[in-house]
Structure 1
Amino acid sequence: MNSPDTLVTSRPKRIFPKTTGLTALWRHRQTLRVLVQRDLAVKYQKTVMGYFWSLLEPMGLATIYWFVFGVVMQVGARGDSALEHVDYSLYIVSGIFAWMWASSAISEATTCLTSQSSLITTMKVPREVFPVARVVARFAEFLAGIPIIVIFALLGRGISAGTFGWNLLLLFPAVALQAVLLTGLAFILASLNVLYRDVQRFMRLVTRILFYAVPSIYPLALVLKSDNLPEWAKSIYLANPFVVIVEIHHEAWIPGLNNLTWQMITTSVAISVFLLFFGRWMFHRLEPMVLKEL
C-alpha cells in the first residue's frame, strides 16, 4: 500500500485536438442550430419588420456609397474597365453584403462569450459552438441578401453583361474562404475579449478601418494601377485576406474583372487556414482561464 508521501496528485493534462473541432461541432450540430435560431429570434424580437432589418442597413449603406462614389465621384466610370458594362450599383451591393457578414460576425463573435456567460458555464457542449454560432447566424443574414443582389442585377445590365453564368459558382469558394477566416478570427477575439475587455472597443475601430481597406465600394483596379502608392504599400494592402474574398464576391456577380492572381488567392487561403488552426489552438489554450473569468 502506498504511503501518503508517495501519492502524487496532478491535474490531467489537456490535450489539444488534432482537428479544428469539426467533429465536435458535427456531434453538437443540433445545439448549434438552436443557438443560431435563438440568436436570430432575440436580435429581431419586438420589431415590426423583423429580419428585414438585416437587409435595410446594407441596402441603405449601398445607396449612400453609390450616390457618393458612383454619381458624384464617378468611380465606376474611371475604375476597372469591366465596370463600364455593369451598373456600379451592382458592384457596391455585392461588396456591401459580403462585408456586412464579415463586420457583424467579427463584432458579435468578439462579445459572444461575455454576453452568454451563464449559458456557457452551465451547458455541457464544446465552447467553440458559441463563436461559430455567431458566424453562422450572420451568414444566414448574408443569404437573405442574395435575392436583393439578384434584383439589382436584373434591374441593371446584369443579364447583358453575363452576370447569370458560370461565374456565379465563384460564390461557393468565396463563402467557404470567408467562413474559414471569420471562424478563426471568432475563436481568437472571443477568448481574448473575456480576458481583456479592451478588445471589443479596439475591434470597433479596426472594422471601420478594414471597411475602407477592402475593395467593397471602390474597384480593386484603382489600387493595383495607382501610381501614388508604393509597391510595399500595395503588398501590405494585398496581404489582407479580406481583399481577395470581397473581390471574389465581386467576380461572382461581375465577370471580366480579372484583378486577382493565383499568388494573391494562395496567400489569402494560406492566411485564412492558418488563422483557423491558430484560433482553434488559442481558444483551447485560453479556455481554462476564460471559464475561470466567466
Structure 2
Amino acid sequence: MSVLVRRDLAVKYQATVMGYVWSLIEPLGLTVIYWFVFDVVFGGGSSIPADENGNRPGYLVFIVSGIFAYQWFSSAVNEGAKSLGGQASLITVMKVPREVFPVSKVFARFAEYVVGFPILIAVAILDGGVFGLNLLWLFPAILVQAMLTTGMVFILAAANVLFRDVQRFLPLVMRVLFYASAIIYPITKVTSAESMQNHPWLVNLFTSNPLVGIFSMHRAAFIPGLAPSMYSVAVAVGVSVFLLFFGRWIFYRLEPRVLKAL
C-alpha cells in the first residue's frame, strides 16, 4: 500500500517545479473565489451563527475548512474510480490484493490534505478559529470520511471497468454533492429557510446526507459553534461503516468480471 501511495504522489508531481504545492492551488483558488463572491459581495459571513460566547467566526475559516475536506473526498473518488482501468497491466501481473489500488488513491489524496493542514491552522488563527478540545473533532471526521470514501471507491472502481457510463456520470454526481453538503453555506440556511418549513421531508433528506455530518465535524474542529447534531454524526458513521463493508463485498463479487474486462 505505502509503495503505491508513494508511486502515485511521485508520478503525479514528477517534472514539476512546485511539487506538492500544486495540490494546494485548486482548494486555495476555490476558497478565494467563494470567499469573494459569498462574503465580500453578498455578505454571507454574517449568516454564520455565533457561538455560545457571542463570537462569530470569519467566513474564510468556514469556507477553507470545508473546501479542503471536500477536495480530499472529491479527488479520491474521481481518481479511485479510474484506478483499475488506468493500470490494467500492473494489476494483472502483481500478486497483491486488487483492492489496494483504489484504496491507495484515498490515502494518497489524504496525504495532500495533510500537506495543506498548516494552511488550515494559519487561516483559523487569523480568522477567529478556536483551539481547544474542539480540535478532537478532527479524529472522527478523518476516520469517518476515510471509511465513506473507501467504500465509494470500491464500488466505483469495479463498476467503472464494467460500465464506462460511470466515468461520464460521476462529475455530475460530485457537483451535486458539493452543493448539497453545506460546504459554502451554513446548515442553518437550509433548516431555517422559510420555503423549507412546509417541506420537512426535504430538511430530513438534507440532514441525512452523511457528507453534511462529516464536513460539520471538520468545521467543528475550528468553529465549536458549528458542531454537528448527534443525528448527523450517527448518520455519517452508520452510512460510512455500512458502505465500507458493502463496497468491499461488491468489489469482491465483481472482481472476476473486472479481471476479464481488463
**Map of 1:1-294 to 2, 5 A cutoff?**
32-82=1-51, 85-158=56-129, 163-229=130-196, 230-258=199-227, 260-294=228-262
Compare the two structures and name the one with the higher helix fraction.
Answer: 2
Amino acid at match of 2:250: M
Unaligned runs of 5+ residues in structure 2 are none
1:144 Cα offset (Å): 0.8
2:49–2:56 contact (8 Å) kept in structure 1: no
Amino acid at match of 2:139: F
1:153 Cα offset (Å): 1.6
TM-score, normalization by structure 1:
0.85
2:35–2:60 contact (8 Å) kept in structure 1: yes
1:85 Cα offset (Å): 2.1
Query: In structure 1, what is the Cα distance between the partners aligned to 2:204 and 2:15?
Result: 47
Instruction: Calculate percent identity across the aligned residue pairs.
Output: 55
Which shifted more, 234-243 or 260-269? 260-269
2:47–2:186 contact (8 Å) kept in structure 1: no
* Larger radius of gyration between Structure 1 and Structure 2: 1
Equivalences, count? 258
2:48–2:57 contact (8 Å) kept in structure 1: no
1:191–1:283 contact (8 Å) kept in structure 2: yes
Query: In structure 2, what is the Cα distance between the partners aligned to 1:87 and 1:194?
Result: 44
1:84 Cα offset (Å): 5.5
Query: In structure 1, what is the Cα distance between the partners aligned to 2:224 and 2:202?
Result: 27
Amino acid at match of 1:241: P
2:213–2:233 contact (8 Å) kept in structure 1: yes
| CA RMSD across the alignment | 1.2
Query: In structure 1, what is the Cα distance between the partners aligned to 2:246 and 2:138?
Result: 26
SS for the counterpart of 1:127 is coil
Query: In structure 2, what is the Cα distance between the partners aligned to 1:286 and 1:209?
Result: 27
Query: In structure 1, what is the Cα distance between the partners aligned to 2:141 and 2:74?
Result: 16
Unaligned runs of 5+ residues in structure 1 are 1-31
